[in-house]
């Protein structure tokens, strides 16, 4: 697969075998629990076979001698004493296996989502990913957990019971099961479209979740533009499609239920009738008839559950297409082995980059920065400023040219180690649920309380209760407060390279002044790259790079660029006129 491409979506649902094999492969480390579940199922089957033979002998002996307590009765009691712990362990280990599998798959899915390549992640809807990682994954887990912990042991016991029943009377056993294949074939035909209906339902559910996420995430904007009504109509349309698909799926599932009941009880009815006939012509003893009736219960359990198993596996197939597509998304590269700086400069040399086969956004970008310098990158919207920052953080991968940081080409850096040397403050600050203190402490896991307190004070947050809950995404704080929390977090990290992506562009004048003062403190002693919106704030920087169409067109100090009266001058005068 080429870098920068999105894996093709699964055109159709994977086969049931592929779903099961991949499930087992992902949970291979729990194979011992599954093996013990199967082992105790086989043990239970063997004990039930012995018990059936004992019943057979007891009933026949009673008819001949009138005695019910004999060696077979003692053996039956011993077998019963062994059966109880055997079935207990089989069910306990089976349930443990299912819980371990659920934990493993959810942990793996979260790890995959956390490592998805940013270029690919940008093409996905957050609501769709959340729906896939929760609802779809839950459907697969529910179906396969139940199968391996409950249904599979039932099938093993049923299969062994069938063999024993055939040995007792193959005529009676086969005659009682004669109609089962025809009914099973009818069930398969009825359930055929179930996978497609489930896929449609999950896609519509993912779309509805994405719309709801858009409303809650952009609530003020939706209200300001009266989009709530429009979003509600889109949400209702997606829910309607989900409901229609769910109704179609349930229609198929409901049809399977009575057929399953027929498959469960029909063999027992036939055994009673045909068994009496065979006993009357002395082809089977009364004990044999009773044994086949008892065994038919264990044979009938998996047969009666066949519709439920079929429905669950069809559902799992429908969900697996989306889950497997998520699992197969290209992860971001781990990079090389370099972990420590061995030089001072940051270098972009003829760098090229484009989004998913679109025209280049970065087109021959070249500039250099020495350690400790404070530089700004400016330009009109869409000129490639923020993209250059993402390239520097290894969130995006260049398609050509050279990027080097602190003595190593960016490909030589371990991605994780590279980011340890970078602090980032963006335009849209993301804060996690918790307190201000918690969010600042996330900047450095090893930070002491004194270091966290010092960063909070330096970011002018000392007058706020830093231990109270700030709500999801920090919505209980003002925009300026959220930005200062992000600055304090960057201070605690204390990385040598600081990236500021328009950190004050969305703030009012008073908030901007407080944030600007905190930024000045943060920049001290650090190599700093500022993506600037307000050009009037760039007078004290070492150098300003002006970008146009993915290239540097001008560079110099603020005064030098104003004297050139070129692109930077025009941007400055436009802002001055707007002010």
Question: What does the pLDDT look like over 375-414, one tens digit per residue?
Answer: 999 988 888 888 999 999 888 899 999 999 988 999 999 9
Nearest of 118, 71, 149, 76 to residue 309 by alpha carbon: 149
Residues 522-577: tens digit of each pLDDT:
888 889 999 877 776 777 889 999 998 889 999 998 889 889 988 888 888 887 77
| CA–CA separation, 424 and 529 (whole Å) | 10
d(C-alpha 242, C-alpha 501), whole Å: 40
Q: Tell me what pLDDT residue 365 has.
A: 93
pLDDT of residue 478: 84
307: left (phi over 0), alpha (psi -120 to 50) or beta: alpha
- Residues 175 and 292 sit within 8 Å (Cβ to Cβ): no
% of the chain beyond a pLDDT of 90: 12
Q: Tell me which residue has tokens 């996978």.
A: 195
Residue 157 has what pLDDT? 85
pLDDT score recorded for residue 377: 92
Closest to 57 (Cα-Cα) out of 73, 77, 74:
73
Q: Is 429 exposed, middle or buried (0-12, 13-18, 19+ CB in 10 A)?
A: buried
CB 492 within 8 A of CB 461: no
User: If the chain, 579 residues long, is cut into consecutive pieces of 10 residues, what is the mean pLDDT of each piece?
Assistant: 40 78 90 91 85 74 61 80 87 87 87 84 78 81 82 85 84 74 65 65 68 58 55 73 71 63 66 73 78 78 75 79 86 85 86 85 92 90 88 90 91 89 84 86 88 88 85 81 87 89 68 76 87 77 90 91 88 77
CA 488/CA 470 separation, integer angstroms: 15
Write out the two tokens for 567: 């692109």
Q: What is the pLDDT of residue 268?
A: 66
pLDDT reported for residue 7: 41
SS3 content of the chain, % helix, strand, coil (to 5): 65, 10, 25
SS (H, E, C) 284-322: CCHHHHHHHHHHHHHHHHHHHCHHHHHHHHHHHHHHHHH
Degrees, nearest 5: CA angle 258-192-132: 105
Length of the chain: 579
CA Rg, the chain, in Å? 34
Q: How far apart are CA 241 and CA 339, in angstroms?
A: 51
What are the distances in angstroms from CA 256 to CA 176, 184, 250?
20, 10, 10
């Amino acid at each position: 697969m080429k870098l920068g491409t999105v894996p093709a979506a699964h055109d159709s649902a994977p086969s049931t075998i592929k779903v099961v094999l991949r499930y087992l492969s992902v949970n291979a480390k729990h194979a011992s629990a599954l093996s013990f579940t199967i082992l105790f199922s086989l043990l239970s089957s063997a004990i039930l076979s012995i018990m059936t033979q004992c019943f057979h002998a007891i009933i026949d002996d009673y008819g001949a001698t009138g005695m019910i307590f004999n060696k077979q009765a003692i053996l039956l009691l011993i077998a019963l004493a062994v059966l109880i712990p055997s079935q207990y362990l089989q069910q306990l280990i089976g349930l443990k296996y299912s819980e371990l599998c659920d934990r493993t798959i959810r942990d793996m899915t979260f790890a995959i989502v956390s490592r998805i390549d940013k270029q690919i992640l940008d093409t996905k809807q957050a609501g769709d990913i959340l729906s896939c990682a929760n609802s779809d994954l839950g459907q697969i887990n529910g179906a396969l957990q139940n199968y391996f912990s409950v249904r599979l042991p039932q099938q093993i016991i049923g299969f062994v019971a069938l063999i024993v029943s055939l040995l007792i009377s193959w005529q009676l056993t086969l005659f009682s099961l004669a109609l089962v294949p025809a009914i099973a074939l009818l069930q398969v035909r009825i359930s055929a479209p179930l996978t497609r209906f489930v896929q449609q339902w999950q896609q519509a559910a993912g779309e509805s979740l994405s719309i709801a996420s858009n409303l809650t995430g952009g609530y003020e904007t939706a209200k300001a533009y009266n989009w709530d009504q429009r979003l509600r109509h889109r949400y209702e349309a997606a829910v309607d499609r989900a409901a229609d698909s769910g109704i179609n799926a349930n229609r198929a599932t409901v049809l399977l239920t009575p057929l399953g009941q027929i498959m469960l009880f029909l063999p027992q009815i036939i055994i009673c009738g045909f068994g009496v006939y065979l006993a009357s012509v002395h082809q089977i003893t009364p004990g044999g008839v009773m044994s086949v009736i008892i065994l038919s219960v264990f044979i009938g359990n998996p047969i009666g559950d066949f519709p439920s198993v079929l429905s669950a596996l069809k559902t799992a197939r429908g969900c697996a297409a989306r889950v497997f597509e998520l699992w197969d998304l290209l992860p971001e590269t781990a990079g090389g082995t370099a972990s420590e700086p061995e030089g001072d400069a940051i270098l972009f040399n003829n760098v090229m980059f484009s989004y998913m086969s679109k025209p280049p956004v970065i087109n021959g970008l070249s500039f250099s920065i020495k350690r400790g310098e404070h530089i700004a990158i400016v330009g009109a919207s869409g000129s490639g400023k923020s993209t250059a920052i993402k390239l520097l953080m290894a969130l995006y991968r260049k398609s050509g040219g050279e990027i080097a940081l602190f003595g190593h080409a960016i490909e030589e850096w371990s991605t994780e180690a590279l980011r340890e040397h970078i602090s980032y403050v963006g335009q849209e600050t993301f804060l996690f649920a918790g307190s201000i203190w918690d969010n600042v402490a996330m900047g450095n896991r090893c930070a002491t309380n004194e270091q966290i307190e010092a960063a909070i004070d330096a970011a002018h947050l000392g007058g706020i209760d830093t231990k109270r809950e700030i709500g999801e995404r920090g919505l209980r704080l003002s925009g300026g407060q959220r930005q200062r929390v992000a600055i304090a977090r960057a201070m605690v990290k204390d990385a040598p390279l600081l990236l500021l992506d328009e950190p004050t562009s969305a703030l009012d004048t008073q908030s901007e002044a407080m944030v600007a003062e905190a930024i000045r403190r943060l920049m001290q002693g650090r190599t700093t790259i500022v993506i600037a919106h307000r050009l009037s704030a760039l007078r004290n920087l070492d150098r300003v790079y002006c970008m146009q169409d993915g290239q540097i067109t001008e560079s110099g100090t603020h005064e030098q660029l104003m004297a050139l009266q070129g692109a930077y001058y025009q941007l400055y005068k436009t802002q001055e006129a707007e002010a």
